Structure formats: structure tokens, C-alpha cells
Amino acid sequence: MEKKLGIVLLLAIIANLIGAYFGFFVYYQEQIAATPIYLLAFVADCPLAVLLVAASLFLVWIGKKNDFLSFLASAYALKYGIWTVFVILYFNQIYFAPAYWGLYAIMLVTHFGMMLESFALVGKIEVKKEHLLIVLGWFLLNDYMDYFWGLKPWTVPNDAILLPFTVLLSIISVLALYLAYMKKKPKIFTDLLFLF
């Protein structure tokens, strides 16, 4: 495994760490403060996603990759990247109101980037069926906690479409990512990330 830290990889790790910081300590600050400690794993999914992506990219770079962690991070980035883009566009009257449009325009772009980086480690890790089952089980549990325990982001309005969309997204995104990693395609993102 190459030890040279390319500029693109370094920038990806830094960008993900900045995103995690913003998510945990700014965007979700009030919700995290009000959530019992034993439920915190179910809050702030997007910041957790980019923190896991940063960790998995770093571990791959230093030659200490963890295939399960990398698949979990990739699945988080894909699911919550898609979910957030959908929510922002679906509730665009709220998120693109004059007071919020700047923040949510940036979030739209960064979460689209999360979707793309979910494929960053294609060809770099080996995925097993156990990884698929554990991640899918975790996501479905997370969906249950979000919609039946009230742990979804406080900034997202209640709407009947969100629960079925989220559960379906959990299943489809994890399966699609698993197949992409098993077939080792598309590798374009991996090639770009480790090229420079």
C-alpha cells in the first residue's frame, strides 16, 4: 500500500474533519446537548459519516486499513448524502428561504460530495457479506430510532414520506454500495483520490 500522502487525499481527509466539526459542534449542538448519552450514536449521522470517512481514508493511507470500518463509512456517506440532498430539495421552501439559503446551498453541495466519496475506496478494501448484514441492520435500527424515538434531525419537518423513503434508502444504498465494492466499480473516484 502506498505511503505517499497525496494532496487530494490530504484535502479529502481535512475537508471531512472540518465537516465533522461543523456538524457536531455547530449544526447538531443543541440536539446533542439534549440527547441522553446512551442515544448519541443515533444523532448527527452526517458528521459521523464524514468522521468515519476521514478515519478510513487515513487508515488506508498508512497501510492499516479496516475493511469493515471503510464499508461502514462509505455506506454512511452514501445513505446520508442522498438523504440530506433529498430533504433539502423536498423542503426547499424552508431551506432556501432568505434567512437559510446560503447555509443549505453549501450543505447541498457538500452532501452531494458525500455521495461521491462513498465510492472512494472501491478497489482498496474487501467487503464481506457480514459487513453488508451488520451495516444494513445498523441502518434499519437507526431509522427506527429516528422515526419512533424522535431522534431524526430537529431541523427536518415531519412528513409521511420520510419514514418509507429512509427505510428504502437504507436497503437500496447499502446493497448498491456492496455490489459496487464486490465488482470493484466505479473506480474513477479511487483513482482520482489516490492519483495526486
Tell me the pLDDT tens digit for each residue of 150-174: 999 999 999 999 999 999 999 999 9
124-140 pLDDT, tens digit per residue, is 888 999 999 999 999 99
User: How far apart are alpha carbons 57 and 78 in whole angstroms?
Assistant: 15
Residue 2 forms part of a structural domain:
no
Cell triple for 116 = 461521491
User: Cα separation of 55 and 142, whole Å?
Assistant: 21
* Confidence check: pLDDT of 192 > 70: no
Query: What is the extent of the structural domain holding 109?
Result: 7-195
- Mean pLDDT check: name the lowest of 82-96, 99-113, 119-133, 152-166: 119-133
Give the whole-angstrom CA distance, residue 18 versus residue 25: 10
Residue 1 lies in a domain: no
Give the residue with greater pLDDT, 8 vs 26.
Answer: 26
Q: Label residue 89 by pLDDT band (50, 70, 90).
A: very high
Predicted confidence (pLDDT) per residue in 169-178, tens digit: 999 999 999 9
The amino acid that residue 60 corresponds to is V
Helix, strand, or coil here: 119? Answer: coil
A 10 A CB-CB count for 22 gives 17
Q: How confident is the model at residue 39 (pLDDT cuts 50, 70, 90)?
A: very high
- Contacts of 145 by beta carbon, 8 Å cutoff, 6+ apart: 39, 42, 151
pTM metric for this prediction: 0.90
Check residue 183 and give its pLDDT: 83
Cell of 13: 481527509
- At residue 190, the pLDDT reads 55
- Number of structural domains the chain divides into: 1
User: DSSP letter at 124?
Assistant: T
Buried b (16+ CB within 10 A) or exposed e, 176-192: ebbebbeeeeeeebbee
Does residue 84 form part of some domain? yes
